[in-house]
Amino acid sequence: MEIDSFLRKLPKVELHAHLNGSLSRSTMLELQRYYADSGMTDNMNAFFDEFEMAAGDPRSFSDCFQVFRIAHNLTTTPSALEIALFSTLKEFQDDGCCYIELRSTPRDTQYMSKRQYIDTLVKSIRTSPQHLTIITRLIISICRHSPLADAEEIADLAIEFYKSYPDIVVGIDFSGNPTVGSFKDFVPALSRAREAGLKVTLHCGEVFNPSEVQEMLEFKPERIGHGTCIHPKYRGTDETWVNLCKSRIPVELCLTSNVNSKSISDYDSHHFKYYYTAGIPLVICTDDKGVFSTSLSHEYKICAETFHLEPSKLAELSLKACDYIFAEDMRTKVKEIISNFVQKNC
Ligand code: IMP
Ligand code: ZN
């Protein structure tokens, strides 16, 4: 089997994908049509070209965080949110993804509250149409540049929905522009969620901030996202790297996101190679496949080409990712799906 086809067919696990950053051009067009059909013309101005950030885009790292407004403008009602969800899940499924932990930040909009936002996602996932066979779980995000009161409210809602729907809501995420806000301030909200049973993933070390990286590693989240500035060669310190190596916290790596947002200069220089060589648990993810025009199989292909990994090693990466799934009851099932494929094709 040629590599593109192998990587698309390889059952894969997506553990770091933001819903609003994952909207494709065709999903956005579908959402535009929905708003037009509903007579809500204020949402017609979707600047698709501005949403996508290709390699070499002149915008800065912080500018990336402005583009999400374009997607947010298209997911303001429960129906639009459901369209965005189903369309995005279908795309991940068509790309060979068999299990996804999708994350999203609940927002109050003109047409729904944060509670309705979560309720819509949870109920839509539970009642997904038959053609969606991808196993889906939800991670609720807290944004580091939102007021603390919002974070507390989201933590409360996450706990409430986790208690009612433990089959869907599995974790809490800390994300947003890393140059704004301080992790310390959000520890009480995140700790409450964790004490209630939610697993925690933190966007960690996206920019130079070794003291915050230390605080995050000491918090002992179940996973971290990116982990860019942890190794001393990558604007981290000996201490942060040793801490990560000791703690063996799994890292969600998003290569194209890092390159296109300019936190890493090119694929060859990506920290993947240090993590892979050091045996740090890692999982290849997309982050924002709409913004960065990528797919999970494409991310695997970049790894294959840049770091010269054979198909069997790529299959191994997909299989290992199962151990870091938050929904522990799903690990064996997802492993079986991948193993069956590997036995027949590797
Ligand atoms: P949403 O949570 O579904 O609305 O997805 C978009 C949101 O995810 C953005 O507004 C950011 O808060 C967050 N996000 C997306 N990509 C990144 C990233 O690379 N670092 C930190 N936060 C991110
Ligand atoms: Zn992210």
The CATH number given to whatever domain includes residue 237 is: 3.20.20.140
| Closest of 63, 25, 66, 17 to residue 261, by C-alpha | 63
- Whether ligand 1 lies within 6 angstroms of the CB of 252 is answered as no
Angle between helices 311-321 and 296-307 (to 10 degrees): 130
Distance 341 CA to ligand 1 centre (A): 32
Residues 6+ apart with CB under 8 A from 113: none
Distance 343 CA to ligand 1 centre (A): 37
Residue 175 lies in a domain: yes
- Whether ligand 1 lies within 6 angstroms of the CB of 258 is answered as no
Q: 176 φ, ψ to 5°? A: 105, 180
Residue 211 lies in a domain: yes
Residue 173 lies in a domain: yes
Number of H helices, E strands in the chain: 15, 8
C-beta of residue 18 within 8 angstroms of C-beta of residue 41:
no
Residue 77 lies in a domain: no
pTM for this prediction = 0.98
Convert the pLDDT of each residue in 284-319 to its tens digit: 999 999 999 999 999 999 999 999 999 999 999 999
| Closest ligand 1 atom to 19 CA | 3
- Whether ligand 1 lies within 6 angstroms of the CB of 223 is answered as no
| Closest ligand 1 atom to 72 CA | 4
Task: Specify the number of domains making up the chain.
Answer: 1
Distance 35 CA to ligand 2 centre (A): 27
Residue nearest to atom 23 of ligand 1 (CA): 176
- Whether ligand 1 lies within 6 angstroms of the CB of 18 is answered as yes
Q: Which ligand is nearest to the CA of 73?
A: 1
Q: Which of 206, 212, 252, 299 is catalytic?
A: 206
- Whether ligand 1 lies within 6 angstroms of the CB of 68 is answered as yes
Using most ligand atoms within 8 A of CB, pick from 65, 75, 209 the residue to mutate for ligand 1. 65
Residue 312 lies in a domain: yes
Q: Is 206 a catalytic residue?
A: yes
Q: Which ligand is nearest to the CA of 109?
A: 1
| Closest ligand 1 atom to 254 CA | 19
DSSP E strands: which ranges in 188-345? 199-204, 223-226, 251-253, 282-284
Residue 172 lies in a domain: yes
- Whether ligand 1 lies within 6 angstroms of the CB of 263 is answered as no
Collect the ranges in the chain with pLDDT lower than 70: 42-46
| Closest ligand 1 atom to 288 CA | 16
Q: What per-residue confidence (pLDDT) applies to 44?
A: 62
Q: What per-residue confidence (pLDDT) applies to 102?
A: 99
Distance 290 CA to ligand 2 centre (A): 12
Q: What per-residue confidence (pLDDT) applies to 42?
A: 66
Helices (H), 261-330: 272-278, 296-307, 311-321
| Closest of 28, 100, 101 to residue 67, by C-alpha | 28
Distance 20 CA to ligand 1 centre (A): 7
- Whether ligand 1 lies within 6 angstroms of the CB of 21 is answered as yes
Q: Which helix (H) or strand (E) holds 136?
A: strand 135-143
Q: How far apart are CA 155 and CA 114, in angstroms?
A: 11
| Closest of 130, 121, 209 to residue 169, by C-alpha | 121
Distance 88 CA to ligand 2 centre (A): 16
- Whether ligand 1 lies within 6 angstroms of the CB of 136 is answered as no
Which domain does 117 fall in, by range? 3-24+86-345
Half-sphere exposure (CA, 13 Å, Cβ side) for 99? 25
Tokens of 164: 């009612």
User: Long-range contacts: 328-336, Cβ < 8 Å, 24+?
Assistant: 330/99, 330/135, 330/137, 333/135, 334/11, 334/13, 334/98, 334/99, 334/135
| Closest of 245, 253, 284, 293 to residue 271, by C-alpha | 253
Distance, first Cα to last Cα, the chain: 10
- Whether ligand 1 lies within 6 angstroms of the CB of 243 is answered as no
Residue 58 lies in a domain: no
Residue 154 lies in a domain: yes
Q: What per-residue confidence (pLDDT) applies to 166?
A: 98
Q: What per-residue confidence (pLDDT) applies to 1?
A: 81
Q: How far apart are CA 287 and CA 263, in angstroms?
A: 14
